[in-house]
Amino acid sequence: MTKQLLHSEVPSQYTWNAPSVFASHEAWEQELIGVGEGLSAVAKYPGHLADSGALLVEALQARDEFTRRAQVLTVYADMASAVDSNDQIAAAMASRARSLYGQVLAAFAFIDPELIAIGLVRLRGWVNSEPRLAIYAHAFDDLFRKQAHVRSVEVEELLGMLADPFSGATLNESLLTNADFQLKPARASDGAELPVMQSTYDGLIHHPDREVRRTAFESLTDEYLAHKNTLANNLVMSIKQNVFKMRARRHDSTLAASLFEDNIPAEVFHNLIGVFRQNLPTWHRYWALKKKALGVDELHYYDIWAPLATQRPTVTYEQGIDLICAGLAPLGEDYVRALRKGCLQDRWVDVYPNQGKGAGAFSTGAPGTHPFIMTSFHDDLFSLSTLAHELGHSMHTYLTFENQPVIYCNYSLFVAEVASNFHQALVRAYLLQTNDDPQFQLTLLEEAFNNFHRYFFIMPTLARFELEVHQRLERGEGVTAETLMKLLDDLFAEGFGDHMTIDHDRHGIIWATFGHLYADYYVYQYATGISAANALANRVLAGMPHAAEDYLRFLKAGNSVYSLDALKIAGVDLTKPEAVLAGFEVLAGMVDRLEKLVG
């Protein structure tokens, strides 16, 4: 399954269940046309929302349904394109779906300005007299919290129409790096060549042969370097769009604009960065230990993923599901049953790598569809961990869709990374407790460090990078490929201390390998997420009263409450630095454990 198969050649049980969404591309086409034509019926609502509570609820329900249908169309097209970026039909469908979604946003852009004109007092009266409006009470309160940043009907309509053209930077990055890149093969010590694709790179960078890791790393980064100016301009264009939207909505900064959307105070972001910088010595200690354990004179970036275990266990996809379910048993039979059925019967997961499959993994879905996962499973503990992570997202989605109306199904990215890392923490704890084989334990610790490295080192570093680039562009400064590379190279130098041999250009271009930077201020949420996740997992593992029930209540809440309040329901407060400090305590404990294993 690790050969360069076409997606059409992968056995169907290992591919996502596209027919459960639309029976065919033709059915998708009919729905796309139907949604577009149906928008003409919206014309009866603008200017009339103040007429009555009954008319208002009719308009809100129409908006929710059109939004849901547009999301279903987008999920289908985006999944089809993600699992095979060479599929030009799917790529065109994804573009058309985004265009339609922009039309839906524009068609209903009149709602928020009219609601503000009606006033919160009158709306609350309607909520009490019109039962169908009751579910919108929190949404109304949130709208009036944002009142100062809601513009006129004309401006809101324009901002909605910009959703499609502003998606171009993300699409450009995906098509260039997943479809157009021509990556040179990696080379083993014996001279054998190994194909490098976005979907195979993760397996190569974990390879025990250092020459494979080195040549795979250089193949990937050198291709990014060959396109550094295009990629830099593309990212700058995306961030300038953020600056435009920030100014259009009259925020003081892009950071303030991004955090305001989910009612997150700025100290949450700055607490993370402050605690991260103060605790860099924990990472320096790990780099020194890794270098010593590998027995190398110089530690290079591609050695971060070098295996320490000499015998890595093989874990098939089906075995992985069994282990994940066992680790999640504290959450109850209903939870485990739904997850198992989703993976083995309902085909939530597109499992194996294939030609044109994008890098990494993600979970997606819309009300009315299954949650779907794109991943590249390599029959090892690392793939198991990635799958557990994405299933955390998927179960969050599943339970939100089961328990919330459409208006509250779009939970924030801030809470999303809690659910995913919580899964990994529970499953990891189960595996450490139930298998005492030193090689298994060592492999599991390697997986844990790789996870923490990505979410608790790379992501906070990228968060510092992203903030600085946004601030430079807000000030009107010029930003080029060279300035981006110099900035990240300097940040990595601080993070690695004197334990890593620096390769300035290849370290500097690593920002370009993270499409996450096209989602405004997303990356810091991985670090807050892993902190909160481990704190909540510790509550469940310690058997604290109602810990599992509290966590499930959090998953079911969606965005019916603010993100920080949802996490308080689960049992953690991210407005204080203690949660991030607790994350570093977990990391330090893993360094201690690794030190005992490797001597």
Q: Are residue 442 and residue 572 in the same domain, yes or no?
A: yes
Q: Are residues 418 and 279 in the same domain?
A: yes
For residue 124, is it within any domain?
Answer: yes
Q: 156 and 301 share a domain?
A: no
**Does 349 fall in a domain?**
no
pLDDT attached to residue 3: 58
And the tokens for 19? Answer: 């027919």
* Domain count across the chain: 2
Among residues 163, 189, 218, the one where a domain terminates is 163
Per the domain annotation, does 345 fall within a domain?
no
Same domain, 300 and 151: no
Active-site residue (options: 31, 173, 261, 390): 390
pLDDT in tens, 44-62: 999 999 999 999 999 999 9
Out of 136, 163, 190, pick the residue that ends a domain: 163
Same domain, yes or no: 536 and 426: yes
- Asked if the structure places residue 344 within a domain, the reply is no
Chain-centre distance of CA 107, in angstroms?
28
Is 223 catalytic? The answer is: no
Q: Are 598 and 471 within one domain?
A: yes
Q: Which residues contact 413 (CB under 8 A, 6 or more apart)?
A: 519, 522, 525
Q: Which pLDDT belongs to residue 2?
A: 45
Domain presence at residue 100: yes
599 and 462 housed in the same domain: yes
Token representation of residue 552: 């499930």
254-261 and 228-248 helices, crossing angle to 10°: 70
The predicted-structure confidence for 185-212, as pLDDT tens digits, reads as follows 999 999 999 999 887 898 899 899 999 9
Domain final residue pick, 107, 130, 163: 163
Q: Are residues 150 and 286 in the same domain?
A: no
Helix pair 254-261, 266-278: axis angle to 10 deg:
110
CATH number at residue 285: 1.10.1370.20
Q: 188 in a domain, yes or no?
A: no
pLDDT of residue 366: 97
> What span, in angstroms and rounded, lies between the C-alpha atoms of 350 and 373?
6
In a domain, residue 159? The reply is yes
Q: Give the pLDDT of the chain (599 residues) as one tens digit per residue.
A: 445 789 999 999 999 999 999 999 999 999 999 999 999 999 999 999 999 999 999 999 999 999 999 999 999 999 999 999 889 999 999 999 999 999 999 999 999 999 999 999 999 999 999 999 999 999 999 999 988 888 888 898 888 888 888 888 888 898 899 889 999 999 999 999 999 988 789 889 989 999 999 999 999 999 999 999 999 999 999 999 999 999 999 999 999 999 998 999 999 999 999 999 999 999 999 999 999 999 999 999 999 999 988 888 999 999 999 999 999 999 999 999 999 999 999 999 999 999 888 878 999 999 999 999 999 998 999 899 999 999 999 999 999 999 999 999 999 989 999 999 999 999 999 999 999 898 899 999 999 999 999 999 999 999 999 999 999 999 999 999 999 999 999 999 999 999 999 999 999 999 999 999 999 899 999 999 999 999 999 999 999 999 999 999 999 999 999 999 999 999 999 998 888 988 899 999 999 989 988 87
Length of the chain counted residue by residue: 599
Residue with tokens 């300097």: 490
Judged by DSSP in three states, 263 sits in coil
Q: Name residues whose C-beta falls within 8 Å of residue 112's C-beta, 6 or more positions apart in sequence.
A: 143, 150, 156
Q: Specify if 298 maps to a domain.
A: yes
| CATH number of the domain within which 79 lies | 1.20.140.70
263 and 145 in a single domain? The answer is no
Say whether both 420 and 524 belong to one domain: yes
Is residue 263 domain-shared with residue 401, that is, in the same domain? yes
Using a 10 angstrom Cβ sphere, with 0-12 exposed, 13-18 middle and 19 or more buried, the burial of residue 138 is: middle
Are both 285 and 399 inside the same structural domain?
Answer: yes
Q: Which residue segment(s) compose the domain that 514 sits in?
A: 248-313+390-599
Euclidean distance between CA atoms 454 and 449, whole angstroms: 8
- The pTM assigned to this predicted structure is 0.84
